[in-house]
Amino acid sequence: MLLTKELLANEYLSNNKSIKKIAQECNVSYTTIRYWLIKFSISIRSKREAKKGREYSEEHKNNISMGRKEFLKDKTKHPRWNGGPIETICETCGKKFLIEKYKHTKGIRRFCSKDCYTVYQQQNIVEISLKTREKMSESRKKYIEKNGCYFTGKKHDLETIELISRNRTGKCMGEEHPHWNNGSSFEPYGIEFNDELREQIRERDGYVCQNQECEITQEELGYVLSVHHIDYDKKNNEETNLISLCNSCHAYTNYDRDVWKIYFENIIGGIKNYAGPEVLKKEGIYRGRGKGLVEPV
């Protein structure tokens, strides 16, 4: 039989016959029919499309049902049985556990639990190169342009926000976070110089700028006071080395550090009437901003 485009299109598309049945009727091989379908640009149905609408006889359905029941009773009789789970060792704790053979072969699962995987992440932080980050960013942008962001225009209700907050409290913070890197994000400050410590210093100072020539309150400023290191050592986070200042006064402390250091040490020590930089300047002891103290004769 001569295989023409009209014949194959009629049998395959119009009559919805399978490639195997057309091959039997034309007395040729399966691959021959498939070759000419591709050659004539006739799209081949997927397995799902081929099975769609197909009706099975009751006998065929019973055979499928009986076969499945038999496989459930004894998995070793399944044609794709590969020997079942195998024993392997967790890379973190060394504990033995069972794993599916294909997962072990592909290296999909190498840990006995999520906790062990978290420990592995903390100990083996993988640095992603800038080039890879750019590729990830571009891929994400293209996906959002095509499909849109799932959460765009949506907001959590109060109940969900409270639930998320409760679940996150004390978790994924500090050393508990899988990407913890010994506090590198706090640098150049110490790990202990956190929001809690800064708020504690502000509360101790009554939420007032401790420069006696200023003494503006946090409420008047409309923003939180800065916390200044008196000896300029950002690793020294003792309470006696920290003091509350407004942004303006904090900026002045970048000049003539020896003057400001003595000044704030006396304030922390309880000497409230110690002469400030402006008084020292009038008395001829302090040269002025950026010039330091007058050297003794």
How do strand 96-99 and strand 242-245 relate by DSSP bridges?
A: unpaired
Q: How far is CA 152 from the centre of its chain?
A: 19
Dump pLDDT digits (tens) for 130-151.
888 888 889 888 888 888 776 7
What is the predicted pLDDT for the residue at 144? Answer: 83
Judge whether 277 and 255 are in contact, CB under 8 Å: no
Tell whether the model's pLDDT for residue 286 goes beyond 80.
no
Whether the bond between 188 and the residue before it is cis, its omega within 30 degrees of 0, is: yes
Q: How confident is the model at residue 273 (pLDDT cuts 50, 70, 90)?
A: low
For the chain, give every domain's residue range: 5-46, 82-125, 187-282
Return the closest-CA partner of residue 229 out of 220, 238, 217: 238
Strands (E), 22-72: none
Alpha helices in 74-204 (DSSP H): 101-106, 114-123, 130-147, 158-168, 195-204
Tell whether the model's pLDDT for residue 245 goes beyond 70.
yes
Q: How confident is the model at residue 206 (pLDDT cuts 50, 70, 90)?
A: very high
- Which of the 8 DSSP states describes residue 177? S
What is the predicted pLDDT for the residue at 68? Answer: 77
Higher pLDDT, 296 or 219: 219
Angle at the Cα of 131 (from 130 to 136), degrees rounded to 5?
A: 95
Dump pLDDT digits (tens) for 31-42.
999 999 988 988
What is the pTM for the complete model shown?
Answer: 0.39
Measured CA to CA, the distance from residue 171 to residue 175 in angstroms comes to 9
